[in-house]
Amino acid sequence: MGELYSDSHREVGSIHMALTTVDHSALKVNQTGIVATVLVAVLGSQYLPALIWLIPLLAIVLLVGTFAPQYALFKQLYFQVLKPRGFVKPRPVQDRPEPHNFAQGLGGIFLTISSLFLFGPLLAGDFRPGPGLVIGLALALIVAVLAFVNLAFGYCLGCQIYFQLSKRGVIRAS
């Protein structure tokens, strides 16, 4: 048995736990939704260009879900449909929701920037495909890659950025 909490050990600093219960299945459904939507938008747009509109729509969904979690589309899909019908089992974990919300918001911001690259030239009346299209698609794919890494390996880059900002006092981790 590892002696993690033995008195003989140093415990540097004080770790204040202000934890609530977070259902990690809701987070997983959210990440799955992000990966699936971006893949359909990026790969599908090669054959059906209108699918590219899914990227700004997803940006809106993520940003709305960050500031008003009760309207988070994929999480509500989980809480209203998947969980009650037993398709996905709940996985409550003692956790703080703030880093996950921060990560979601960051994804929304990246997708907003992606949308500006994708649709900015169009709005300016330039209908020729340019480097902005590649940058926009790449940014959207990066969001999907990070969501997949979180889904598959439990590594949340947005949560780590939250940690770094907390460490520097930019965000108060209360």
How near is the Cβ of 98 to another protein at its closest, in Å? 7
Cα dihedral across residues 131, 132, 138, 141: positive or negative: negative
- Burial of 108 per CB tally in 10 Å (0-12, 13-18, 19+): buried
Rounded distance, CA 125 to CA 49, Å? 17
Binding span for another protein by CB under 8 A among 29-37, 55-63, 69-77, 91-99: 91-99
**Token output for 160:** 């780590």
Binding span for another protein by CB under 8 A among 11-19, 66-74, 75-83, 120-128: 11-19
Asked whether position 8 contacts another protein by CB under 8 A, the answer is yes
Binding span for another protein by CB under 8 A among 8-16, 60-68, 76-84, 105-113: 8-16
Helix (H) or strand (E) holding 28: helix 24-44
Nearest to 51 by CA among 36, 40, 59, 62: 40
- Chain-centroid distance of CA 19 in Å reads 20
Residues 137, 141, 144: CA angle, nearest 5 degrees: 145
Binding span for another protein by CB under 8 A among 56-64, 74-82, 104-112, 132-140: 132-140
Asked whether position 89 contacts another protein by CB under 8 A, the answer is no
Helix (H) or strand (E) holding 95: strand 92-95
How near is the Cβ of 13 to another protein at its closest, in Å? 3
How near is the Cβ of 85 to another protein at its closest, in Å? 26
Rounded distance, CA 173 to CA 9, Å? 25
How near is the Cβ of 35 to another protein at its closest, in Å? 13
Asked whether position 128 contacts another protein by CB under 8 A, the answer is no
**Residues of the shown chain interacting with another protein in the complex, contacts defined by CB under 8 A:** 1-6, 8-19, 22, 24, 42-43, 45-46, 93-96, 98-99, 129, 133-135, 137-138, 140-142, 145, 154-156, 159-160, 162-164, 166-167, 173
